[in-house]
Structure 1
Amino acid sequence: MATQASPTATPTLSSTNSVTLPVEDYLLKNDEDAEMLYASKILVRQCMARFGFDYAVDPGWKSPSDPKGDAANMARRYGVSDATTAARYGYHLPTNVLPAPPADAQPMSDAARDVFLGDNPRADGGGLHVKQYQGQKIPAHGCSGEAERKLGTGLDERLPESINDASFQQSMAAPQVNGAFRSWSACMRKNGYTFSTPLEPLRTRLSASPTASEIHMAESDVACKKKTNLVGIWVAVESTVQKSLIEKNQEGLTQVRSTARQTLERSAKVIAEGASS
């Protein structure tokens, strides 16, 4: 059942730059996510080495391009809302938040993949029988499973992510947000653009780099958001929805956060030991 959103106050916001939604307390920041993944790779490398395989670990995992970036995607959650970004990039993603390209690595051999995955099922339906390599027992679910067991399940964010998704969908159905959409749409029409919601421009086909016409549309988009206080209204409504959903799922969310902290502590220890060895 959808949560009824009746905000007690509506802030005036021209962008989402300083906005944090309640559910972000339970979602991993980029640097936390990177730390867990980096530690996991170190453990996988150690495990794979026992079977005679090299497993590359890219030190770049320790330095995400946007360390405090939020999993709620506030920069684009309600479409483009920052005037400076719109004037430079239009609807393109800023280059400094693009994911770093993966380090060059050789594809795994079949034998290495068997050790990595162990008895995990494969896409082709195979794999459940793989429990040994050259007489040596492979850990349950392979080296990837061993790493997860050692670190814990702090990367499992299904509950907060489901709240993050549900609140967004519910907020779009709220009368206050729909009213803001209509006001924004009317403003955009005066500038020569026909859109029903501020998410529609994000789906337009983009050229390889921002064009003058794209930038003009993005700037109009941001200006109309500011004029109608669309961001402030949307944030107020979605925050109200999230608070209600968080209250209903508080026990599970507290456990998610506790597990994440434990995994982060173990990750920090693995990384420190890896650096000293």
Structure 2
Amino acid sequence: MFSSRRMFRSAAVLVLGVVGLPATVSGCGTSSTSHRNSGADLLAADASPTAIPILSSTASVSLPIEDYLLKNDEHSQILYASKLLVRQCMARFGFDYAVDTAWKSPLNPKDDAANMARRYGISDAGTASRYGYHPPADALPAAPPRTPSMSGAELNVFLGDVPRPDNKAPHLKEYKGQAIPQHGCSGEAERKIGKGLQERLPESINDASYQESMSTPQVSAAFRSWSTCMKQHGYSFRTPLEPLRGRLPASPSATEIQTAEADVACKQKTNLIGIWVAVETAMQKELIEKNQEALTQVRDTARQTIERSAKVIAEGAVS
């Protein structure tokens, strides 16, 4: 549930965010991130919570890994600065690469990949009564601007020798007598701004704790208690994730709202949120301890990238 709304920040994100190309174009997807995190320990089998808080929602809850995750406004800032650098590079080759004149922060600038508001499904009674399983209107992400398609020449300068969808890397070294940067203008922008968008370790830990937690005795028992409660309301769901599956209609129906209200009420009755948060917190603390050196490096890299992106935006990428 929680991870579906996030775009994992691999090397492909720069390409996707800048030009809107298919992920396969970048040639820097799963294989590169898995290699980069090959030494990461993402198992927290020994983790066990020492205390279970009573939580009726996730409104004031945070998880340990959030200290290492990029926030939405930081992510948007880096992408915008990257676009400015790409525009500067493309201009050297005579191409007009369009960039939005204003950087627009996300609707919820302090939100991040943990997505606590909907990580465990819906947990707020007021939201359930009004929207059912639909996200509130002010929580919907802004639609990205449409990116005009590139000509073959523009794409060659933008990507350079980056492998195309057929996994073949063209040997493009120059355009009209001018040397193309390694991996094109997208690669030049990445080198200038840093690798803050590529570091996947914090998100890998974020994902691992979520997935592993559902197999723990504590969370499994909480699911069964929640399921029993839902049956008393006339609903047959094994886990809180089941009501979220399937396409939602344009607006919430009365039936959907009633189901969502029962969902939240059963979560509160069984303290499912408190149990789940406690288990994930214990897991993440263990995973952070196991990977502390690498995470510290990731955070330092992210801070450097954020600082560079702020400078690029302030200067308008004119230098």
Deviation at 1:2, TM superposition (A): 4.3
Tell me the residue number matched to 1:265: 307
Aligned residues: 277
Distance 1:84 1:17 in 2: 12
Q: Is the 8 A contact 1:167 1:242 kept in 2?
A: yes
Q: Who is 1:56 aligned against?
A: 98
After the TM superposition, which residues 1-277 of structure 1 pair with which residues of structure 2 at under 5 Å, given as runs?
Answer: 1-59=43-101, 61-274=103-316
Show CA shifts across 1:31-83 (max 9, x none): 01111111101100100111111112124543111101121121221111111
Note if contact 2:128-2:260 (Cα within 8 Å) is conserved in structure 1: yes
Higher helix proportion: 1
| Runs of 4+ residues deviating >3 angstroms | 59-62
Is 1:27–1:157's contact at 8 Å kept on the other side of the alignment?
no
Most deviating of 204-213 and 229-238: 204-213
Q: Is the 8 A contact 1:38 1:62 kept in 2?
A: no
| Higher deviation after alignment, 167-176 or 100-109 | 100-109
Name the SS of the counterpart of 2:147 in structure 1.
coil
- With over 3 angstroms needed to count, the CA separation of the structure-2 counterparts of 1:98 and 1:59, relative to structure 1, is farther
- Deviation string for 1:193-218 (max 9, x for gaps)? 11111011110442221111101101
* Structure 1 residue 129, shift from structure 2 partner: 1.4
Q: 1:129 to 1:105 in 2, by over 3 A?
A: same
Q: 1:204 to 1:62 in 2, by over 3 A?
A: closer
- Matches of 2:85 and 2:301 in 1, distance apart? 19
Letter in 1 for 2:156: D
Q: Helix, strand or coil for the counterpart of 2:204? A: helix
Offset, 1:132: 1.1
Moved more, 163-172 or 99-108: 99-108
Q: 1:113 and 1:78, CA in 2 relative to 1: closer, same or farther beyond 3 A?
A: same
Q: Which AA in structure 1 matches 2:99? A: V
Q: Output the CA distance in 1 between the equivalents of 2:178 and 2:130.
A: 57
Q: Which amino acid aligns with 1:69?
A: D
Report if the CA contact (8 A) 2:78-2:305 is conserved.
yes
* Offset of residue 113 of structure 1: 0.7
Which residue identity lines up with residue 187 of structure 1 in the other structure? C
SS at match of 1:245: helix
In the alignment, residue 131 of structure 1 is paired with which amino acid?
K
Are 2:44 and 2:287, in contact at CA under 8 Å, matched by a contact in 1? no
How big is each residue's C-alpha offset from its partner over 1:201-240, in whole Å with a ceiling of 9 and x where there is no partner?
A: 1104422211111011011101110111100010001100
1:139 shift after superposition = 0.4
Q: Equivalents in 2 of 1:105, 1:177: separation in Å?
A: 43
Distance in 2 between residues matched to 1:202 and 1:60, nearest whole Å: 35
Q: CA RMSD in A?
A: 1.6
1:6 is displaced (CA, Å) by: 1.9
Deviation at 1:247, TM superposition (A): 0.2
Alpha-carbon distance in structure 2 between the residues aligned to 1:105 and 1:269: 25
Unaligned runs of 5+ in 1: none
1:241 Cα deviation (Å)? 0.4
Aligned residue for 2:117, secondary structure, equals helix
Q: Which runs of 5+ in 2 are unaligned?
A: 1-42
Give the letter aligned to residue 142 of structure 2: A
CA distance in 2, matches of 1:172, 1:201: 16
CA distance in 2, matches of 1:29, 1:59: 22
Q: What is the CA-CA distance between 1:276 and the residue it aligns to?
A: 8.4
Matched letter for residue 258 of structure 1: D
User: CA-to-partner distance for each residue in 1:11-42, whole Å, 9 max, x for gaps?
Assistant: 11111111110011111000011111111011
